[in-house]
Amino acid sequence: MAGIGATGTKSLAHYTNLRGLFGIIDSGELWASNVAFLNDREELLHGVKCARRVLSSILNDSKLTQWGDAISRVVKEIEDGRLPNTYAACFCEKPDLLSQWRGYAGNEQAVCVVFSAAGLDDLRRGKRSFLAPVEYGLVKGKMTLRKNLKARLLAIGEDEFANMDEAERRATVYEVLSELIPRFKHKGFEAELEWRLTFQHGRCCLTHLLHQASKSR
């Protein structure tokens, strides 16, 4: 996926209400929500659908067949309600987008806070944290997810795979899919021009980017 370097993006907008603005100013913190609670569950399930479509092609790939059972079981677990282990703060390429004003204000005063894209990128921590635009559409999502999933799993050597038990293989797939699934949305949301700053395990800072598991904008 393209990051800020490839896109030339200089700034990103975060839409919120006055309470959100005061919270950012007073605490110096941005909150990231579990991706299962960003909007409705259908948004999450779009990424899961991409993973489900990818599964059949992976089972036909001789290099990845050994991962087939673990992938199938983890996809089913997420479909049945298991939360991805990924948290995200959401941004937009446009600082004055009508749909975002409507979506984030509700019946309150809306606010748009503009951040340096490079500054947000500096908040990433570790290999499983990224700042990147969301990719829209099932076909594109399926292709990108397959490419990334294949690269991540093939990076695990045969000896390492052989030393894993079934639970460890599922845990590995769960971590990878948790990271990849939030990168994709239905093509109907393409006008949102959304970017996500996501991470797993830990916190990074604004001074700090914190995480929570309950619904939050």
Specify the pairing of strand 29-34 against strand 208-212: parallel
pLDDT tens per residue, range 46-56:
777 777 777 77
Q: Residue 4 has what pLDDT? A: 52
* 203 pLDDT more than 50: no
What is the CB-side half-sphere exposure of residue 176 using CA atoms within 13 A?
A: 24
Distance (Å, rounded) from C-alpha 134 to C-alpha 192?
9
pLDDT tens per residue, range 28-47:
888 888 877 766 566 667 77
Q: Residue 86 has what pLDDT? A: 82
Phi, psi of 93 (to 5 degrees): -70, -25
Secondary structure (DSSP) of 162-180: HT--HHHHHHHHHHHHHHH
In the chain, the DSSP E strands lie at: 11-17, 29-34, 87-92, 110-116, 130-133, 135-136, 184-185, 194-199, 204-205, 208-212
How is residue 178 written in tokens?
């948790």
Q: Work out the average pLDDT over 142-148.
A: 84
How is residue 197 written in tokens?
């700053």
Q: How much is the CA Rg of the chain, to the nearest whole Å?
A: 18
The mean of the pLDDT values for the chain is: 80
The model carries a pTM of: 0.77
pLDDT tens per residue, range 47-90:
777 777 777 777 777 878 888 889 888 888 877 877 777 888 89
Distance (Å, rounded) from C-alpha 10 to C-alpha 31?
22
Which residues are CB-contacts of 203 (< 8 A; sequence separation ≥ 6)? Answer: 125, 209, 210, 211
Distance (Å, rounded) from C-alpha 82 to C-alpha 68?
19
Handedness of CA 201, 202, 208, 214 (dihedral sign): positive
> Helices 68-79 and 166-180: crossing angle, nearest 10°?
60
Please report, for residues 69, 115, 126, the alpha-carbon distance to residue 49 in angstroms, rounded to integers and kept in the order given. Answer: 17, 32, 27
